[in-house]
Amino acid sequence: MVKKTNIVLGVTGSIAAHKAADLASQLTKSGANVSVVLTADAQRFITPLPFKTLTRNPVVTNLYDEEEGWQPAHVRLADEADLLLVAPATANTIAKLALGLADDALTCIALTLNPKAKLLIAPAMNGKMWQHPATQAHVATLKKRGAEFIGPDKGGLACGYEGIGRLWPVEAIVEQALKLVVRKK
């Protein structure tokens, strides 16, 4: 029996959070078992319901979410993951990941992630935030640890600026995510 690919999709507080529903849908249609984790800030942009409906899985919205069994959801998801995809990833979340901070379900999953799992990060933020030396230092740290990045893209930004900072196209993120889990196996 072939093991189904387990992808944890971490959604953070960016205007691009609405595109994560399409990501979840396409990854699920590809045959992956997708579990979604929404940060508190992500929930300011999108609710858990679309993700629950599209993935057919419960959505983790809080570090203390309970589910059946004894193991905390964030530990179980970290253990089972083949890929942690953070899309969109804000500057704040990238900093937390680089510094090893674990103050919500998503960052706890990242810190306890099964060592065989891949980490793919799709940034989306204001271009000045992306280009800031602190953000670039955090990106470099994560790349040294084996994280892969896709994007950001150039174009019109929600803040009204034109430039780098857009979430990479959903189809390309899906393609890269699936390549990583196939390459991993």
Catalytically active residues are: 159
Which helix (H) or strand (E) segment holds residue 122: the answer is strand 118-123
Instruction: Give the 3-state DSSP-derived string for 6-33, with helices as H, strands as E and coil as C.
Output: EEEEEECCCHHHHHHHHHHHHHHHCCCE
Q: Residue 119: what are its φ and ψ, rounded to 5°?
A: -125, 120
Q: What's the rounded Cα separation, in Å, for the pair 73 and 65?
A: 7
* 42: DSSP letter: G
> In this structure, which amino acid lies at residue 19?
K
Please give the Cα distance from 47 to 3 (Å, whole number).
30
**For the chain, what is the radius of gyration of the CA atoms?**
15
d(CA 132, CA 152): 14
